[in-house]
Amino acid sequence: MSGGRWWPRVAGAVAAFAGFEVLLTVIEADPDPIRLALLVAICTALLGLLVDALGGAEPSWRVEVERPSVRESGDPRLVRYVALIEAHLSSRTAEHALRDRLAQLADQVLRQRHGLHRDDPEAAQLLGPELVGVLSGPPRRLSRAEIDRCLTAIEEL
């Protein structure tokens, strides 16, 4: 208990003791000062414990989000891409959905920036051996680093 709460309680206990002593003397109850002091001290201690236990701030059930969710961004394409990558990373088997989507993105960028299709010989040189291997090979599980490298290669086309 801090000193700021100690002195008001002591002062209240002394005032209560004096008040009860005067009241019991006036009604000629012949009070025992030691027993009365113990009774007031116990009541003050119990009241202080009750106030300390119940007087704190109410618990907050609000959860602070450390990182905003991508799903709340409002961009449905971004949400679909994130869901596709999360599904690929958590899948137990090799899925072709991520590979196919990477191929579509690569085709789109090659067509827009270079006027090429992924099957053109020049496209293989622009894509690089790792990305060509991922896009033309059988479906396999890609690690986060491989996905990052593939997306970086597509962005840099």
Q: Is the pLDDT of residue 153 over 90?
A: no
Query: How remote is the C-alpha of 111 from its chain's centroid?
Result: 42
| Separation between Cα atoms, residue 10 and residue 145, nearest integer Å | 67
The predicted-structure confidence for 91-145, as pLDDT tens digits, reads as follows 888 888 888 888 888 888 888 888 888 888 888 888 888 888 888 888 888 888 9
Whats the size of the chain, residue-wise? Answer: 157
Question: In 3-155, which residue ranges form alpha helices assigned H by DSSP?
Answer: 3-26, 33-54, 76-90, 97-114, 121-127, 129-136, 144-155
Token pair for 43 = 């009541």
Task: For residue 152, give Cα distances in angstroms to 23, 39, 73, 106, 118.
Answer: 87, 78, 22, 11, 17
pTM: 0.53
pLDDT at 68: 65
Q: Contacts by 106-111 with C-beta closer than 8 Å and gap 24+?
A: 106/131, 106/135, 106/154, 106/157, 109/154, 109/155, 109/157, 110/157
| Separation between Cα atoms, residue 6 and residue 92, nearest integer Å | 63
Asked if residue 9 lies in contact with residue 33, where contact means CB atoms within 8 angstroms, the answer is no
Range ranked top by mean pLDDT from 44-48, 60-64, 69-73: 44-48
The predicted-structure confidence for 81-93, as pLDDT tens digits, reads as follows 888 888 888 888 8
Token pair for 141 = 């599980």
2 falls in which pLDDT band (50, 70, 90)?
Answer: low
What residue type is 66 in one-letter code?
A: E
pLDDT at 39: 92
pLDDT at 38: 94
72 falls in which pLDDT band (50, 70, 90)?
Answer: low
The more confident residue out of 52 and 33 is: 33
Average model confidence (pLDDT) across the chain: 84
Q: Which of 70-79, 87-96, 142-151 has the lowest mean pLDDT?
A: 70-79
pLDDT at 41: 93
Q: Is the pLDDT of residue 71 over 80?
A: no
Q: Name the residue with tokens 């790792």.
A: 130
